[in-house]
Structure 1
Amino acid sequence: MSVVDSVLARIPQRYRELAIRHRELLKFGTVGAITFFIDTGVFYALKLSVLSHKPVTSKIIAVLVATLVSYVLNREWSFRTRGGRQRHSEATLYFAISAIGVGLYSAPLWVSRYLLHLQTPYTSRIVEEIADFTAAQVVGLLLGMAFRWWAFRKWVFPTDHAQQPAPERDREPVG
């Protein structure tokens, strides 16, 4: 039994059909969860060490690392039945859209730090950390994720370039 079959077997029947219908979104969300932890880990590792005075730079580097992992996981798992473009064209589109995403991920942190001055010495260290996490890891993530989901489906992995269906052994179960 595959991992997907095992997970689907544990989902109540009334939700199983919904999960199957929206499996691409669920896979995209799973990739997002994995890369969230990568992004957060890299962001805080840099922000609390070598780039302590450059939180936006820390965030940009973290998003870039997470984006590389995201491309591989989305290409090979989330959108594996979509696309059909040559790999270099697809990767170019993916990273161009992700570059816009970097701006969307980083903008709330920039606003929090430099427009709202939610940083020391204007506020306490705990308020700064809460504001940084909320702006970078919640608001920025939601903005960037929503944009990337829409843009990836529209331009990088469109259905009009869909690949031929996978052989029976590689397909996910429908029921």
Structure 2
Amino acid sequence: MSGGRGVRASGAKYVVVGLVATAVSLLVFNALVHGPWGLDVLNDSPSKAVVIANCVGMLVSFPATRLWVFDAQPGRSVLGQLIAFLVVNFATMLIPVACLQVTREWFHLHDPVSDNIAANVVGLALGNAARYVAYRRWLFSDLTPAARVRRHRARWRLWTQTRSVTQGSATGRSTAHPDAAPARVPVEG
């Protein structure tokens, strides 16, 4: 998938998968923290409930993200992708946990609406954005690690060349390399 159309298509699919996983996470979180009939077993530990709810959501999102959103590349290790998926998800899970902690500890808001806005609206939106970038860039990229290094080097060369040309036209010399010959500036006469 390359180009704007591929990004839009995978982005739209990612939103659908995210909505399903979010619905699962919301149900689990609210049952654990604000559950009816005395089921609010983690009311005093909402951060633990966020972690548990997100783990359940991950069970839903991994296969759908791998197979449908990013069309898993043949020959890629499922176990390797799963491990990387878990690392990305646990790292980005800190975002909604931090939002929830700020709401509870700094603003002293402990009601269901505040908890859900902090963890499941603001935190989830920020976490999902971070996950999408990580998935697209590293986890489900169709590039091998060596190809990513080559692409990065090519982009770096292009950036430094563009920079030296734009700076060179302003100063009359190139800054690409100390041994480089001065850039030729046309003389108007």
Q: Would the TM-score normalized by the shorter structure come out above 0.5?
A: yes
Matched, 1:45 2:36: no
Supply the distance in 2 between the matched residues of 1:96 and 1:43 (Cα, whole angstroms): 21
Supply the distance in 2 between the matched residues of 1:45 and 1:142 (Cα, whole angstroms): 21
Is residue 83–residue 157 contact of structure 1 (8 Å, CA) maintained in 2? no
Which one-letter code corresponds to 1:109 in the other structure?
L
Number of positions where the alignment pairs a residue of Structure 1 with one of Structure 2: 136
Matched, 1:32 2:23: no
Which residue of structure 2 lines up, in the alignment, with residue 160 of structure 1? 143
Supply the distance in 2 between the matched residues of 1:135 and 1:151 (Cα, whole angstroms): 22
Q: Which stretches in structure 2 are left out of the alignment for 5+ residues?
A: 35-39, 145-189
Deviations 1:49-92 (A, max 9, x none): 22122111111110111012111110121111458531111111
Which region of structure 1 is more displaced relative to structure 2, 24-33 or 128-137? 128-137
Sequence identity percentage: 31
Which residue of structure 2 lines up, in the alignment, with residue 68 of structure 1? 59
TM-score scaled to structure 2, two decimals?
0.67
**Pairwise CA distance, 1:47:** 0.7
Aligned counterpart for 1:103 among listed residues 69, 91, 94: 94
Structure with bigger RCO (C-alpha 8 Å, 6+ apart): 1
Aligned counterpart for 2:83 among listed residues 54, 73, 92: 92
* Equivalence map 1:2-13=2 (5 Å): none
- Over 3 Å counting, the alpha-carbon distance change for 1:96 and 1:21 in structure 2 is closer
Aligned counterpart for 1:114 among listed residues 81, 105, 108: 105
Which one-letter code corresponds to 2:114 in the other structure?
A
Supply the distance in 2 between the matched residues of 1:154 and 1:86 (Cα, whole angstroms): 17
